[in-house]
Structures are given as C-alpha cells and as structure tokens.
Structure 1
Amino acid sequence: MKRFDFFPTPLPGLTLVQRKPIEDSRGFFSRFFCAEDFGRVGLTRPIAQMNHSLTHLKGSVRGMHFQYPPFAEDKFVSCVRGSIFDVAVDLRKESPTFLHWHGEILSADNQRSLLIPAGFAHGFQTLARDCELLYLHTMPYAHDCEGALHALDPLLEIAWPLPIAEISERDRTHPMLNSQFEGLTL
C-alpha cells in the first residue's frame, strides 16, 4: 500500500510530500514518516532532532533559517494544525536555481509536507490562527553554524500571500543579501 506521494518542485531536491491517510467513521490514520520511503527520494541521513512550534497570529512570518556546514541539515516540515505558506530558498553555490525560492501551502487538512534538502533556507507565513508545525531535522541545532536570510529581502522577492502581521525582532534584524554572499558549498 502506498503511504506517500512525492512530487518534485522547480528547485532540484526540494520535494512536496503528500501523506495518504486511511479514513473511516472514526477519523483517519496516516504514516507520518518512513525512512525507507523517504530514502528513495534522497533523505538518507537519520533524523537527529524533532521540533514543534506554535504561532498564534495569522500573517506571522518565521524564518528564513538554515545551518552552515558541517551542520547543514535536511528538514521535513509539516503543518499539523492550521495552514501555512511554506518557503524554501536554494542557497547551494553551484545550483542552477541558486537564490530561487519555492512556496507551498501546507495544512492539517491537505496533509502535505515539504522535504527540504541541506543547502536551503526555510521559513513560513501563517494563513490561519494558532498554527502548529512539526520539523524533523537530520542534524542537531548548532548555534555557531546558524544562518538566516531576511524574509523581506528585495533580492529574493518572496511573494508572501498576506501582509506581514508579526515577525520576531531576531528575524527582522537578519541582514539583506549582498554580493559577498556566495552560497553554501556542501
């Protein structure tokens, strides 16, 4: 029985994942993650950390976060309550889609997730109140390897679907890109 459908996006390696729930009168059951299935689409490193977030205000933006090597990580991002516009930006130095972004609506209802490979920045905007996300990471968080892009960087031109209602002070102060940013070598 097929548990997931995997769909490529315009950014090589970035994959949209559709969970395949089994439904009956009680509700549904779905497999959330399977290393064997995900290995077939490139997630070969084990999951090292799992994080959970709650964002109360509709229109809030979190991100655009990444980790530099040697802690560059694959992420598997899912919205388990509410709805978000999830965005990944390709930061891989040699990639033909360097600094291109792709966004997908992830929600509890559509049961979609993004599999984001190492070398991408990640962020999202809430499209509803009280959105909860689960993130599976292939590397532990390393403060000294933390990196981020500014979510409103004019070089990226991310088309956030709503006016930004809230962004943290930390995310608001991330620097804008300049010609010195050469990307990530993995």
Structure 2
Amino acid sequence: MSGRGGGRPRGRGHGRGRGRGRAERSPSTHTPTPSSSSSEMDVEPDVLFEFVLVLKGDPRGIQRLPDSFAKYVGGDRPRTMHLREASCGYYRWIVDAIYDARGKMYLNIGWEKFARHHNLEAGFILLFSYFGDRDMSVKVFDETRCRRDYAAGTTTATTPTRRTTECCFFAANTCTERTHETCDDRPS
C-alpha cells in the first residue's frame, strides 16, 4: 500500500497543524471578534477585496476602479457603492457606480461630494476595502504618504480645513447611524 498511510482521513478540516490547541466550537457559524493586539486591530476581519487607487488629474472627476474589482463584483454590477472614510464610523456616502460597454467600472455621481468633503487632491493614495453588499471603506493617504485621520480632527501632514475636521463629527451627530442616508445640508 502506498500513499498517506493510516492517518486521519483527508478533508476533515480539523486544525492546520501549527501547534495550537484545539478550541471547542459551537455548532453555529464562527464570527470573528476584534483582537486586543494592536497589530491585529489594524486589519478589518470582514474585508473581501482591497485595492489601491492613486488619484491622477482631477480628483473630483469620475474615477475608474480596477478591472479585477469590477470582475470580483461581476454579475451583480451594483448601481451604487456606499463609501465611508475608514475613521468616520457609520456615515456612508452613496456613490453611483457606472459601467462602460467593455465592463469597466467607474465611481460617478456622489464621488465629487465625497472627494470635496475629504479635500482629496491629485497624488493622494486611497486604500479601498470592500466588505460586500456595496459597502466600502476608504483610507486616505496624502502626498507625504501619511494617512489622514479625519475622525481625530487632524491630519498628519497638513492642517485641515474646518469642513474636513467636521467630516465625522457632523455625520455622526446629524445623520441616522447605521443607515445609508445622505446629508446634503452639511455646514460649509
């Protein structure tokens, strides 16, 4: 007899053999929980797809998303995406997603407001994380390659305008949390 021998049958899925003890699992599905480790806190456990977009030209104009992401959302072809700046809690910006004849995906109506409100400029790098169901977070890195922290009311490299510092404060205190409402009456 050749092959694996008389060990455990294949395909059982018990452990990975990395020396960790086995924890008992309930019959329900496993739900990830946040870790207290600072290195693991930066990773969002439910991310299904991530990509980087470098803003070129007019950052408020229509933005083409990577072909691999358009292929990932594939047959669904969502008509809108719900964007939030990663440090801004629950507030979502509803942005229209459009497709050309070749299946290329673009952020269109609503993107200009998101870009203007977050003071996006050419050369900024955006890290998009897709969670499914049209939900995406965006981390903004400025021209110094430092992340802008809108929730704290400051950015690493520049002094933000009043509008930037109010991004999350206004959204969290005026808009209904955990909904996809828009707030077009934000202060200027």
TM-score scaled to structure 2, two decimals?
0.27
Higher relative contact order by CA 8 Å / sep ≥ 6: 1 or 2? 1
Higher Cα Rg, which structure: 2
